[in-house]
Structure 1
Amino acid sequence: MQLAIFGANSSTGRHLTAQALAAGHTVTAAVRRPDGFPLSDPKLQTLGVDVYDKSAVERAIAGQDAVISILGIPYGRKPVTVLSRGITHITDAMALHGVKRLVTVTSRLLAVHAPKSSGEKPLYERFMYRRVLYPILTTMGRTLYDDMVRMEHITRATDLDWTIVRPSALYNTDEVSAYHVGPPESPGLYTSRIDLAHSLLREVTDNAHVHSTVSVFTTEGVPTFRDVLKKEVMRIGSWDHK
């Protein structure tokens, strides 16, 4: 498969790129700074792409069989448009070049941040997370999650064969585990980045959830809430955020 990955230089993106190459796929890594991309392979093409640049996005998508988007930015107070503008340029380019399969990543927090999509059930979770943690995180990341909502709406409005994947709180591990994929309201607090990457590659090749939104979360060896708070939100501790 010819596969374009937007956001390939994120932690999840590097896992995904390595897994796709190991599986024999040909990968175009669309990144903002191609000189800093650490992977190399005869089947890997690294392109410098700003998703605000429609022409650059079109060049990255021409000739592909499928596209995976892992666009994301840190929390901040300023309005965010990179996700919605990026997915607009990506989906427009896919329509232009006749590429149908799209898998994109948002967040399980949208299940509490935004009005539910048609047919989506309430998010069932422990009281502390539902009533305390999630409101704090969705307030801190309000502008980011607002743009994720716009991105999901744009994706669903296309004629593409799309799948939206919503991971839980992300953390790092070294090996793929027996993670769970299910409806958006499925309970599960944490998702390792390597599991997320594996699920994205499986979605784009198996086509099991076309025109669906799914959650993915890790079920084995998950960290404590304190670890995730320190290392992911406060960025204190040892695991790697490269």
Structure 2
Amino acid sequence: MRHDLRTAEAAGGNPPLRSAYRVCCGVTRRDPAEYALVQLLPAALRPPYWALWAAASTVDDLADAPGEPFESRAARVAEWKTALRREREVGSSPDPVRAALIDTAARWGLDLSELDGAIRVVQEDMVGRRLTNWHAWEQWNGDGQLPWFEQVIRVMLRAGIVVLPGTANFNAFPELVCGVRLSDILTDLSEDLAGGHLLLPESELASTPAPRTTCFD
């Protein structure tokens, strides 16, 4: 059964919800490449994508907040995760990003508990993570990124858009997610190095001619 594609119109009768989606759109707009990608989607599918992207970005921003001590950042991520778990049971939230995410899940039949593992990966990354080889890197990326992408795919499928027409393409989907993640890391390479963290396999870094200390100091 085709789901109602008029997310924005349906939220139009609910000013707080409409405002929540507007906040999510603003968060997505902060990433020009991501925002341009969303613009390629049918207009009715953009609000759920805004909500999912804004939620993922919010968790990352809480974890990476510059100048804040680890304890404060860890507490804020834990609080956000706990609030989402509680609020998804009641179906609403005073937080605009979580409100839009919960509404998106209700409209499109998404199970937000599937995101718990991805948020847990962010929490573990804050403690520190060493990725010894590409296998470990792919496992880390799959656990942290794939659940968010799967939610997007479910929205498209329930809208009647065939995204993965064959088994071969479905099996290749994790590779696509890895490619997107690697492109993002390489784009932010100088910023990540300046911040003292570079999430690439140690086996790959060890093979570069640059001294090891330039990647970890």
TM over 0.5: no
Q: Which has the larger radius of gyration?
A: 2
- TM-score tier, shorter chain, comes to under 0.3
TM-score (norm 1): 0.25
Bigger share in helix: 2
TM-score (norm 2): 0.27
Bigger share in strand: 1
